[in-house]
Structure 1
Amino acid sequence: MFEIFIAKANIENFRGLISRENDPAKKEILKELLTIEEDKLAAAHVASSIQSFPKRDH
């Protein structure tokens, strides 16, 4: 799923930016953005797993 690929790339990018950032205020903003991307990744995994469930006939 494309959303998973993008979220993983963003997470990797934010982790690198956080490790290099010296300004505590900017580091906090980056951590918040990282958390948002981690949430997006989790949601994309859930959406992907739901789509793979077989459909039931009623």
Structure 2
Amino acid sequence: MKNTNFWLGNGLLALALLILVFMGTLSEMLGIGAVILWMGVAAAGTYFIMKS
């Protein structure tokens, strides 16, 4: 289970990086929701890595 949490956390942090790279486009589409989405994904990724 520890290994699964680690890889899930890394996957979520990779997704957070992609969101950050495309933040300009996403903010035009979602507004402040893009930042909230990024914070949620980054927090979830950090949670799963710390849980492992």
Whether these two folds match at TM > 0.5 is: yes
From 29, 32, 39, give the equivalent of 1:35: 39
Number of aligned residues: 47
RMSD between aligned residues:
2.0
TM-score (structure 1 length as normaliser): 0.60
Q: Unaligned regions of 5+ residues in structure 2, if any?
A: 1-5
Deviations 1:16-57 (A, max 9, x none): 22133462x613111111011111122112211xxxxxxxxx
TM-score (structure 2 length as normaliser): 0.65
Runs of 4+ deviating beyond 3 Å: none
Q: Unaligned regions of 5+ residues in structure 1, if any?
A: 49-58
Question: Percent identical across equivalent pairs?
Answer: 6
1 or 2, which has the higher helix percentage?
2
Q: Kindly indicate whether structure 1 or structure 2 has the higher relative contact order, using CA contacts under 8 Å at least 6 residues apart.
A: 2
